[in-house]
Structure formats: C-alpha cells, structure tokens
Amino acid sequence: MVYINSSGTTELFTGAYNKRVEQNRSKAAAQVNATEQDRGMTAQEMLGTTVEISAESKEFMAGVEERKAAQIAAREALRAEEGGNAFNGTGDFKKQYLVLSENLYNNGFYNNLSDEEVRDMEEMLKDITSGMESINGSGLNKNYSTEMSHEAAKLELLSSVNALNYFADKYVQEEIRASFKEMIKQYESYNCGQVEMHKSIYDLRDESMAAISAPNAINVSAAVRKTQEDTKASAEIGRVKHTAEQEQKNNKAYQTLFDKLMQKQAGADSIFESLKNTLVGYASGGSMNDNVLTMLNARNASVIQNMADYWARLL
C-alpha cells in the first residue's frame, strides 16, 4: 500500500490526515521562502532584472496528464503484484482503513474538505474496520481474552461491509463511488478468508471441553461448583454445529436488521439488542441454559458495543 507522489516515486501511505498535515507544513515553508524571494526580487527588479520560466519547468507542467496516467498504471501494477486484492498483506503494520482511505485520497475525495473533516472521515473508516483489524495480521499486541469469537467475527464483517457501503452512499461523490465500492468488495473478499480461519481462545477452549466428560462432583464448595457449571456451559457451546442452510438463514436475519437500521425503521438501541440476541441464540444452538446464555452475552458485549458506536457516527 503506497502513495504515488507527483515525481512518480512511491512512499508509504500513512493516512489522508497525515498527508494534509505534511502539505500544510510544506505550504507554510513555501510561503516563507516566497516572501524572502519577493524581497530579493524587488531589489533585482530595481536593477532591471527580468524573470522567465525555464524550459524544464514548462516541460514539467506540460507532462501532468502523462504523469497522472503513469501513477494509475503504477498502482494497478502494484495491486497485481499483491495478488489482485489491495488488502493482501494488511495486518499489524499495514492497516485496512488506510487501504480504503488511500483510494479516496487518490481520487480527490478529501480535496475540498477541511482538516477537521479529513480527520473525522478517516477516523470513521478506522472505527468501521477496527473489528476486522483485531483478527488480522500476525497477532502481535492482541488481547486474547477479549478477542471476537468466530461467530461474532462473521457478524462484525457483515456489519462493517454494510457500514462502508452506507458511508459510500452518504459521503462519497458519485463520480468516484464505484471505485470505492470496488475496494469494499475487496475488503469483504479478503476478510471472508480471515474470518473463516479465525477462532478465539474461547472457541478453542469450548471445542476442547466438548470432548471431555462433564464434571459432576457433589458436596463441593461454591467456587468449585461455579467452575463445574462454567465447564459444562463451555462444552455445550463447543458442541454446537450449524448447517449451511442454518448459516444462510441466520445471515439473512442479520441483514434484515441492518436494513432496518439503515432505513431508520427502528431505534438503534432496539436493533443492536436484537443483533445481540440473534448472535447469542445462534452461537448457543438455541440453548435455554442460563449459564450458556450468560457466558455468551458477556463474551459478545464489547463486539456489539463497538458496532453500535461506529454506526452512531454514521447515522
């Protein structure tokens, strides 16, 4: 993921807001230099000196269109080298929101926005992709005790794709929207693979517990009894399996809720409560065991809250 600058060389794209800060600094420096030059030229002009644009400068300005075409070709060549998906290679040192922001930057999306608006737009993209970012990469600096479960990650991906498309329809100019939506498709495709491979530490524990006989010791302390109940609940979750038909039906239920959210047919609080209940019900296999439901609600609370927070900024 690189930014092709006006000289045709490449540099790491660190964000539209960072680029804006760099540009502002450059403009300020240029203004200072121009002021100093004007002072010097006033004296020279008094001596009859004339100013002409060099042939090299004229040639440089005349080649703007050619350079722009070269920039586009370089970006396409780089994408082909990375396997055709701009998100290949993202992770701890290459963030997904910057891939999306770079597309907008190169298409002029930020040109007429204030510094504050640039920062806010880019922060919104960062928030929307934060869930997928948390399961992406080599695993450095991960908090395994709070990472998303496999089932929660599937919901988060669907949420973020819907949110990015909503962002595109609400903020991105029509003439560059198709390009940005192509990036969203690549984002979805890349992260489908990430989600498919992802299992949290609790997913792995549940699967292990499912193969162990349920503890049922009697005359034990309250603490031991609680551990036994937690073990049984974990094992019950680990035994849950879904068919392709059930998966499709559940995804349709999620999408119906996101459609209602985007069309403002119901309050956001109600929608996210329904999403949480649908997620917990599906992950539990429809269990009525209070310990199972309590465990899953606790594990998924932060995921639901994260989605609610970035949707609140969008709506």
From the list 107, 125, 117, the residue with the least C-alpha distance to 175 is 107
| Percent of residues, the chain, with pLDDT higher than 90 | 63
- Residues in the chain, overall count: 315
Q: Which two tokens stand for residue 143?
A: 């908090």
Question: Has residue 310 been placed in a domain?
Answer: no
Mean pLDDT of the region 73-93: 69
What is the domain range of residue 68?
2-197
Query: Is it the case that residue 249 has pLDDT exceeding 80?
Result: yes
Question: Has residue 218 been placed in a domain?
Answer: no
Query: Is it the case that residue 53 has pLDDT exceeding 80?
Result: no
pLDDT interval class at 205 (50, 70, 90): very high
State the greatest distance between any 2 C-alpha atoms of the chain, in Å, as a whole number.
106
Mean pLDDT of the region 74-82: 52
Query: Is it the case that residue 24 has pLDDT exceeding 90?
Result: no
pLDDT interval class at 36 (50, 70, 90): low
The pLDDT, as a whole number, for residue 223 is 85
Question: Has residue 307 been placed in a domain?
Answer: no
The pLDDT, as a whole number, for residue 66 is 64
The pLDDT, as a whole number, for residue 50 is 46
Question: Has residue 273 been placed in a domain?
Answer: no
Question: Has residue 178 been placed in a domain?
Answer: yes
Q: Which two tokens stand for residue 32?
A: 């200072």
pLDDT digits (tens, 9 = 90+) for 137-183: 655 556 777 789 999 999 999 999 999 999 999 999 999 999 999 99
The pLDDT, as a whole number, for residue 237 is 97
Query: Is it the case that residue 302 has pLDDT exceeding 70?
Result: yes
Number of domains in the chain: 1
Segment (H or E) for 153: helix 150-171
Rounded alpha-carbon distances, angstroms, from residue 112 to 67, 108, 117, 136, 167 = 22, 8, 9, 33, 17
> Read out DSSP for 224-243?
HHHHHHHHHHHHHHHT----
The pLDDT, as a whole number, for residue 46 is 43
What average pLDDT is seen over the chain? Answer: 84
Phi-psi region of 210 (alpha: psi -120 to 50; beta: other; left: phi over 0): alpha
From the list 85, 113, 264, 118, the residue with the least C-alpha distance to 184 is 85
Question: Has residue 41 been placed in a domain?
Answer: yes
Query: Is it the case that residue 70 has pLDDT exceeding 70?
Result: no
- Own/partner long-range contacts of 242-246 (Cβ < 8 Å, ≥24 apart): 242/282, 242/285, 246/282
pLDDT interval class at 91 (50, 70, 90): confident
- Give the highest mean pLDDT range of 42-51, 80-89, 195-204: 195-204
Question: Has residue 105 been placed in a domain?
Answer: yes
Question: Has residue 34 been placed in a domain?
Answer: yes
pLDDT digits (tens, 9 = 90+) for 178-202: 999 999 999 999 999 999 999 999 9
| Percent of residues, the chain, with pLDDT higher than 70 | 76
Query: Is it the case that residue 5 has pLDDT exceeding 60?
Result: no
By the 8 A CB rule, do 87 and 81 touch?
no
The pLDDT, as a whole number, for residue 119 is 97
pLDDT interval class at 220 (50, 70, 90): confident
pLDDT interval class at 27 (50, 70, 90): confident
The pLDDT, as a whole number, for residue 62 is 56
By the 8 A CB rule, do 302 and 279 touch?
no
The pLDDT, as a whole number, for residue 240 is 97
The pLDDT, as a whole number, for residue 83 is 61
Query: Is it the case that residue 8 has pLDDT exceeding 50?
Result: no
